[in-house]
Amino acid sequence: MTACIVGWAHSRFGKLEGETLEGLITKVAAEALEHAGIGPQDVGEIVLGHFNAGFSPQDFTASLVLQTDDRLRFKPATRVENACATGSAAVRQGIRAVEVGAAKFVLVVGAEQMTTTPGPQVQQNLIRASYMPEEGDIPAGFAGQFGKIAAAYFQRHGDQSDALAAIAAKNHRNGVDNPYAHMRRDFGYEFCRQESDKNPFVAGPLKRTDCSLVSDGAAALVLTDATTALSMRRAVAFRANEHVQDFLPMSKRDILLFEGCEEAWTRALKSAGVTLDDLSFVETHDCFTIAELIEYEAMGLAPRGQGAKVALEGQTEKGGRLPVNPSGGLKAKGHPIGATGVSMHVLTSMQLTGEAGGIQVKDAKLGGIFNMGGAAVANYVSILDRIR
């Protein structure tokens, strides 16, 4: 337990009219410090997770966190990026600063403003997180990339449309009770299963309800060492935090295995000294429903090719064997790229401290997080445990 989360903040995700990237950053930064019970003068280091890739004309953003309070001036601040796992990359850098004693308190912020960018440009921005020489021309951008993955999975293991609809319906149902979620609406299984004017096919076998939302939003947390954390208001410890980076080209690996995800989970569970069955819930990276399905298999919840059984039997429902995405996941909560990984850690901490409100998992003791950048290229797993 080399680092602990002792405070946090989370904006609403969605199309946030009249908001600015700077405003999103400074609001959650101030709220996280207040929640932790520390002042700006106590911060030893700042890490900002911000993907950008064209979403904001302001492309040098680390110092925007200093706009929160003049007392943050001269603090070391760094922007990090690792595609859709940018937020978890920021968390990991913050943990490292605590581990080596470089800072007693680290402020980690993740933020993105995406909805002010036209749809076609959003696709162009996101596809830059793929291997451009081979994948840059895939129609429909990242949806097209995961549409290809879904089609290949269907070819190998049979039509999984029922399971994808079950995953989408579950996550939308969970998102209804998440006050931060972009989409708080229970669409039901039948709507998610059937093609319609309101739910057309987007790429390959993926329909609109299979795709996460383009969102604005921010989240922040405060990290410190375990000894200091035990004297504070609350303390959620990292039992494990692992990062596995895989090849960028899909052509260099079996894309249906998510081997980087599997390796990250294997390392994290071993490091924490627990098994998957010890976890109370998991927040996983459902950028598309096919990703969540394959992640069931990569994390060890189902044998290869049998993830559909887990979804259709309700094993990942809030009252099931292992609740997955009780927050609604990226599917309902939204996916502001730089904020996502930080959001996962904030909401997991809320679960473990009993502060998750309507999305609370009963008797949550140990939480798992998987955040992914690209098509299983950047893979981060955290296992969190409340110690105060």
Strand partners, 342: none
pLDDT category, 223, cuts 50, 70, 90? very high
Residue keyed to tokens 């990062």 = 243
Express each pLDDT in 128-160 by its tens digit: 999 999 999 998 889 999 999 999 999 999 999
- CA neighbor of 386 nearest in space, from 352, 337, 341: 352
**Residue 149 is which amino acid?**
I
Does any domain span residue 99?
A: yes
What residue numbers bound the domain in which 64 lies? 4-117+214-229
- Going by their DSSP bridges, the two strands 106-112 and 45-49 should be labelled as parallel
Note whether residue 142 is domain-resident.
no
At residue 2 the predicted structure's pLDDT band, cuts being 50, 70 and 90, is confident
* Pairing label, strands 4-10, 236-245: antiparallel
The torsion region of residue 300 among left (phi > 0), alpha (psi -120 to 50) and beta comes to left
Closest CA to 347 of 369, 332, 317: 369
Stretch 111-140: mean pLDDT, rounded? 95
111 pLDDT above the threshold of 90: yes
Band of residue 371 on the pLDDT scale cut at 50, 70, 90: very high
Tell me if 297 sits within 8 A of 156, measured CB to CB.
no
Give the residues across from 124 on adjacent strands.
Answer: none
SS (H, E, C) 301-318: CCCCCCHHHHHHCCCCCC
Residue 125 located in a structural domain: no
Q: In what order do the strands lie in the sheet with 4-10?
A: 77-80, 45-49, 106-112, 217-224, 4-10, 236-245, 378-386, 366-373, 281-283
| Helices 86-99 and 337-352: angle between axes, nearest 10 degrees | 60
The values of phi and psi at residue 216, to 5°, are -105, 155
In a domain, 313, yes or no: no
Number of independent structural domains in the chain: 1
Residue 332 lies in a domain: no
pLDDT tens digits for range 248-259: 999 999 999 999
Mean pLDDT of 93-115: 98
pLDDT of residue 309: 98
Instruction: Please write the tens of the pLDDT for every residue from 357-367.
Output: 999 999 999 99
CATH of the domain at 62: 3.40.47.10
pTM of the model: 0.98
